[in-house]
Amino acid sequence: MKNAEPILQVRDLYKSFNGVVAVEGVSFDVAAGSVVGFIGANGAGKTTTMRMMAGVDFPDSGEVSVCGFDAAADAVQVKRLVGWMPDAYGAYPHLSVLEYLDFYARLCGLRGAERIERVREVVEFSGLQELGARPAAGLSKGMAQRLCLGRALLPRPRILIMDEPAAGLDPQARMDFKQAVAALQKQGVTLFISSHILSELEEMCDSLLFIDKGKIVHQGLRGGLRGEGEAPGAVVVEIRVSGPVEELFQWLEGDASWTLTERLPGGAKAEFGVNSEQALAGELRRLQDGGLQVSCFHPQQRRLEEVFVEVLKARRSASL
Ligand code: ATP
């Protein structure tokens, strides 16, 4: 994260549709320069929250401010600062990809040579060079996603809000997407990305927000959620040795700090009570000092899916 200052602040948002509560008292800050993952199951309230952040819908109550501008009172400024990438795009039947982008560039207020240059830049950044003459309405999922990205980038947003951008992408398109996210972060753009699949966001986000039934159930740094450093607890370590593996089994079984959980060919998985880098480094030294030739010592961090399920369970049992 480049800067801890919040670029966007959400305060106590509420939104219902015909009596169905979609968002209920949601508050959080988005730090400038960060990549935030917004995680929740289908219907949890992600799209509704993001539409209000992007200024394309308004809350029943509560506030969104971007760089100090209020999304309701200063809607024009906020729309210039926020790029919105919805999960589906409506293309006009007769427009080519280039005409489509040009049309949106005009809507953003870009004129003349500046407009032409900006369209050229987003075409290049989003990898649309080969598609300029193609009808915007008939693109594959991956191509359409690149067009949506290009469209959202036209006004040079400070923060880009993306609704399920990785859904349905093939592996190559997902890799391209990750690279685009990294490149935008490098340019100083803050990114806010939703998904209901944690593994889609796991590698690219530096902080995560979990939403369930319209309420934020957890927020924090990715490492903190996984139990790295900030949240001590037991950790399972995969250990491999180049000498006789029986010696490793004996060592683990004879040491009160360790519990041997699985015997492997050439190694073992074992649980250690303190999940901290310093303590684990000390344990590695102890193993080596004990005469074991350790060729692999790999702490296995919990998958984010597991953490998410735990967070939801804890939250739901607390509210019973
Ligand atoms: P998904 O992952 O399925 O897109 P989501 O987390 O984005 O889900 P929302 O689309 O924000 O969830 O929906 C939250 C709740 O609000 C759901 O119960 C949904 O049915 C309801 N809802 C959202 N938009 C509308 C609308 N325009 N009219 C009526 N109900 C709506």
Give per-residue pLDDT as tens, 261-304: 999 999 999 998 887 788 889 999 999 999 999 999 998 866 66
Ligand 1 atom closest to the CA of 196, numbered from 1: 2
**Cα-flanking dihedrals φ and ψ of residue 191, to 5°?**
-120, 140
CA of 45 to the centre of ligand 1 (A): 6
CA of 5 to the centre of ligand 1 (A): 30
| Residues 91 and 75 sit within 8 Å (Cβ to Cβ) | no
Mean pLDDT of 214-233: 63
CA of 48 to the centre of ligand 1 (A): 6
Which tokens is 294 given? 């350790």
| Residues 268 and 252 sit within 8 Å (Cβ to Cβ) | yes
Which residue ranges form the domains of the chain, and what is each CATH number?
Answer: 6-225 (3.40.50.300), 235-300 (3.30.70)
CA of 215 to the centre of ligand 1 (A): 13
- Nearest residue CA, atom 16 of ligand 1? 22
* Dist CA 80 CA 232 (whole Å): 42
CA of 212 to the centre of ligand 1 (A): 12
| Res. 231 pLDDT band, cuts 50 70 90 | very low
Select from 15, 17, 163, 195 the residue to mutate for testing ligand 1; criterion: most ligand atoms less than 8 Å from CB.
Answer: 17
* Dist CA 18 CA 10 (whole Å): 23
Q: Which of 18-22, 39-43, 151-155, 226-230 has the lowest mean pLDDT?
A: 226-230
CA of 90 to the centre of ligand 1 (A): 19
Q: Which residues contact 313 (CB under 8 A, 6 or more apart)?
A: none
Ligand 1 proximal residues by C-beta, below 6 Å: 17, 20, 22, 40, 42-48, 196
Strand-pairing partners, residue 135, are: 96
Q: What is the pLDDT of residues 97-126, one digit of tens each?
A: 999 999 999 998 899 999 999 999 999 999
- Nearest residue CA, atom 25 of ligand 1? 17
- Nearest residue CA, atom 19 of ligand 1? 43
Q: Which of 191, 210, 223 is nearest to 30 (CA)?
A: 191
CA of 213 to the centre of ligand 1 (A): 10
- Nearest residue CA, atom 2 of ligand 1? 42
Q: What is the pLDDT of residues 70-90, one digit of tens each?
A: 998 898 889 889 999 998 777
Q: What pTM, to 2 d.p., does this model score?
A: 0.77
CA 165 to chain centre: 10
What is the percent of the chain where pLDDT is above 70? 90
Select from 13, 23, 38, 46 the residue to mutate for testing ligand 1; criterion: most ligand atoms less than 8 Å from CB.
Answer: 46
CA of 194 to the centre of ligand 1 (A): 13
* Dist CA 132 CA 234 (whole Å): 54
Q: Which of 318, 273, 265, 319 is nearest to 299 (CA)?
A: 273
Select from 10, 15, 20 the residue to mutate for testing ligand 1; criterion: most ligand atoms less than 8 Å from CB.
Answer: 20
Give start and end residues of each alpha helix (H) in the chain.
Answer: 46-53, 75-81, 97-107, 112-125, 141-153, 171-186, 198-201, 222-226, 245-253, 277-289, 304-318
Which tokens is 1 given? 């994260």
* Dist CA 110 CA 104 (whole Å): 9
CA of 47 to the centre of ligand 1 (A): 7
Ligand 1 atom closest to the CA of 211, numbered from 1: 6
